[in-house]
Amino acid sequence: MDNLLNFGAIDQHILIILAIDIAIAILLLSAMRFIAGLSAKVNTTDELAKEDNFAFGISVAGSVAALGIVMTGAVTGEHSVSYEVEAIGMLAYGLFGLILIKLGRLIHDKFALHQLDKMAEIKKRNISVGIVDAAGVIATALVIRAVLIWVDGLDVYTFVAIGSGFIVSQIILVLVTRIREVHFAKNNQKDCMQEALTDGQVALAIRYSGQIISTSLAVTAASYFLIYTPETIVENLIGWLVFGLIMTVVVSVLTSIAKRIVLWGINMAEEVDQQHNVGVASVEMAVSISIALILTALMV
C-alpha cells in the first residue's frame, strides 16, 4: 500500500511538472510564429493562409521545431527541485534558446549563405531557400539542446557554456558550407551553389539540409567526451571545437561511403545538381542524418 501511495505521489509530481513545461512551451512556440512575422515584416496569418506562401510556412515550421528541440534540453522531469525552479529554468532556457536561434539565423545569413537575400527569397515563395532556412535553425537547435543537457545548474556559467557551444556550432556550419560550395563548383563547371539555391533548386536544398543537420549532430558528440565544470569554460570551448571538427570529418567520410553504397550506380552530382532529382537528394539527406545519428548513439 505504501508503495502504491509513493507511486501516486510521483505521478502527481510528474504531471504538474509536465503541465508547467507544456504551458511554457506552447507560450514560447506561439511567440516564435509572431517573431518570425516581425522579422520578415509580414502578417503571419495572411502569409500562411491567404497568400499560401509555402516557403514562409517551411521557414516558420523550422523555427518552431528548432525551439521545441531546444526546450527538450531544458526539461528536468521528476528530477526537478521544485515547481518554481522548473518554471524559471524552462522559461529562461526557452527564451535564451529563442534568442540564439534568431542569432544563428542571422549568422547563417551573413556568413554561410551571404550571397543570397534569404528573407527576400522566402517572400518570393522560393521553397529551396525556405528549406535551407529551416534546416539551418534546426541544426543550431540540436547543438543548443546538447549543451543544455551537458551543463548543470542555472547560473551565469551555464549560459556562458551554452553560448560557447553555439559559437562552435556556427563556426563549423560556416566551414561546412564553404566546403560544400567548393565541392558543388568542382562538379558543376564552377557554378555557385548559392545562385543555384536562389534559382529554386529544391533537390540541392534538400541535400544541403541533410549535410548541415548531420554536421550539427556530429558536433553534439563533444558532450559525451567533455565533463562540464564552470571553472574550465575556455578549455571546454576549445574541446567542443576540436571534437566537433573531428566528428564532422568522421561523419563526412562515413556518409560519403554510405551514399556510394546505398546509391550504387547513380551519379549523384548529375542527378541532384543538374537534373534536380528530389528523390535522390532525399535519399542523400536520409543517409547523412542516419549515419550521424548512429555514430552519436554509439558515443553514449
Q: Judge whether residue 5 has pLDDT over 60.
A: no
Q: What's the CA gap between 20 and 14, in Å, rounded? A: 10
Average pLDDT over residues 213-239: 80
What confidence tier does 280 reach under pLDDT thresholds 50, 70, 90?
Answer: very high
| Dihedral over alpha carbons 161, 162, 164, 167 (to 10 degrees) | 180
Q: Could you read off the pLDDT of 51-102 as tens digits, one per residue? A: 889 999 999 999 889 988 988 877 765 555 677 777 777 888 788 888 888 8
Query: Which of 65 and 4 is assigned the larger pLDDT?
Result: 65
Output the pTM of the full model.
Answer: 0.88
**Whole-number pLDDT of residue 15:** 78
**Whole-number pLDDT of residue 7:** 47
Q: Judge whether residue 4 has pLDDT over 50.
A: no
Q: What's the CA gap between 107 and 169, in Å, rounded? A: 11
Q: Judge whether residue 156 has pLDDT over 80.
A: no
Q: Could you read off the pLDDT of 39-48 as tens digits, one per residue? A: 777 778 788 8
Specify the range with the lowest mean pLDDT, choosing from 16-20, 76-80, 211-215, 257-261: 76-80
**Whole-number pLDDT of residue 77:** 55
Q: What's the CA gap between 110 and 100, in Å, rounded? A: 15
113-151: b (≥16 Cβ within 10 Å) or e: beebebbebbbeebbbbbbbbbbbbbbbbbbbbbbbebb
Q: Judge whether residue 153 has pLDDT over 80.
A: no
**Whole-number pLDDT of residue 6:** 52
Alpha-carbon distance values, 295 to 203, 251, 255, 256, 298 (Å):
25, 8, 11, 14, 5
Q: Judge whether residue 108 has pLDDT over 70.
A: yes
